[in-house]
Structure 1
């Protein structure tokens, strides 16, 4: 295996060295691609030092040296990658020694396009633990059971009940399998671009479970995580998820092979978050309307996002 590990770097001067060194422990890692995304801290200088110190580390920036977001940075990493396999790692996270144990066996089967596993959590400070433990706890982010690849797409969409989640840090993909996708990460999404990518990826290629009952990578939680600001409602989660589902539905319109029941589910999810964003009076009016015209939207969508917290 020749694995290219892609690490987008933004405001991660304290953590990126640990991320890189956690990937360097594997002989299978052919290269580590750092995409420095105009960090406001000293991350660029740290990346330059890592590039000089390790022959497998390669540093890139966007052509205009400006900030383009994690999605665009990962896209650049995919374009620059020379390995046969692609893996991802956030700059404030790290791999565990068992990261590629399952992959080394499963990828002997040429019909397996991608493998996913379980993500653990580490709090970098007591303040981070106090602020975010209610969000992440000590739980694994994982798909709860081993599923057939044909069920991963609908499972990720939330159509199969308690399915669980794939995290990008635990995903390894054959690079040539990405040719089946019309695009990689959506630059229009500054958050949840990984979720949208995983939706489309699970539709286009065959994703198999690796190690699901123990962590193969670790999410590092600190006070400046972008996504934790959404998860703890410092940013209204409905705002970013409306944008996510708009992109998902836009893609679905171009895929004529997606069944109608799945298309309806996608539209219901978008509608649910739109209702959650509406002012209270307007929101109640929309709820009454949909209760009469499309009850399933309320049941499947609004139940999933616990909209009642926003109504009072």
Structure 2
């Protein structure tokens, strides 16, 4: 196996070295691609030092050296990658020693196009744990039991609460399959939940298999300054970002003839539920009344699925 690990770097000067060194422990890793995204901190200098120290580390910036977001940074990393397989890691997260144990065996089968595993949680400080334990807990982010590839897309979309989600940090993909089969890579206009949208489409186009899902193979680093915790304290309105996510999924699904009508309807309901959730009170009740008159099943499902919003974080 020759694996390219892509790490988008933004505002992560304190954490990126740990991320890189957690990847360097694996002989299968052919290269580590850092894409520095005009960080406001000193991350660029730290990345330059890392690239000078380790021969397997390659450092890139966007051509205009401006900030383009995690999706665009991952796209650039994919473009620059030369390995047969691609894995991703956020700059404030890290791999565990068992990260590729299942992948070594599963990828011996050429029909396996991707493998996913379980993500754990690490709190970098007691303050972060106090603030965000209710959000993340000590739970694994994972698909809860083994499923056939044909069931992964429907399971993530249609049974979000019971099926579970896997994380970009625990995904390994055949590069050729990704390039040949995906309609596009990460959607660069989505600044949040772009990885969730990507994983939905990926599970539709590629045959993805469960690897290690009963214990963590990588750790999510939770601290006061990462993107998700900023969403949690509402410096970015989460209802808007999630509405945009499901709007994007809805737009894509309507163009795909192979997606069943019940799944398309469920996606439409999810988008509708977030539109209702972020509407002002007077408008919200008007929307609910209108939907009750036209589609009781839809609005009931939409309101119910508001409870699963936390699953997308």
Instruction: Give TM-score scaled by structure 2 length.
Output: 0.96
The structural deviation recorded for 1:237 is: 2.1
Q: Give 4+ residue runs of structure 1 displaced > 4 Å after superposition.
A: none
Identify which range, 158-167 or 116-125, moves more after superposition: 158-167
The answer on whether the counterparts of 2:158 and 2:263 sit within 8 Å (CA) in structure 1 is no
The answer on whether the counterparts of 2:5 and 2:86 sit within 8 Å (CA) in structure 1 is yes
**Residue 311 of structure 2: aligned partner:** none
What runs of 5+ residues in structure 1 fail to find an aligned partner? 308-312
* 1:133 equivalenced with 2:133 (yes/no): yes
The structural deviation recorded for 1:161 is: 4.9
Within 5 Å, give how 1:1-312 maps onto structure 2.
Answer: 1-159=1-159, 161-178=161-178, 179-306=180-307
The structural deviation recorded for 1:277 is: 1.1
The structural deviation recorded for 1:304 is: 1.8
Identify which range, 157-166 or 83-92, moves more after superposition: 157-166
Secondary structure in 2 matching 1:306: helix
Q: How many residues align?
A: 307
Q: Deviations over 1:109-134 (max 9, x none)?
A: 10000000000000001110000000
The structural deviation recorded for 1:234 is: 5.0
The answer on whether the counterparts of 1:269 and 1:297 sit within 8 Å (CA) in structure 2 is no
The structural deviation recorded for 1:255 is: 1.3
- Change in 2 beyond 3 A, CA 1:232/1:40: closer
The structural deviation recorded for 1:265 is: 0.9
Secondary structure in 2 matching 1:4: strand
Return the alpha-carbon distance in structure 2 between the equivalents of residues 254 and 36 of structure 1. 34
- Change in 2 beyond 3 A, CA 1:145/1:27: same
The answer on whether the counterparts of 1:37 and 1:73 sit within 8 Å (CA) in structure 2 is yes
Q: Deviations over 1:158-195 (max 9, x none)?
A: 33650111100000000011110111000110000000
Q: Deviations over 1:242-286 (max 9, x none)?
A: 100111112112212211111111111111100111110110111
- Change in 2 beyond 3 A, CA 1:295/1:144: same
Return the alpha-carbon distance in structure 2 between the equivalents of residues 192 and 24 of structure 1. 28
The answer on whether the counterparts of 2:71 and 2:188 sit within 8 Å (CA) in structure 1 is yes
Instruction: Give TM-score scaled by structure 1 length.
Output: 0.96
The answer on whether the counterparts of 1:272 and 1:297 sit within 8 Å (CA) in structure 2 is no
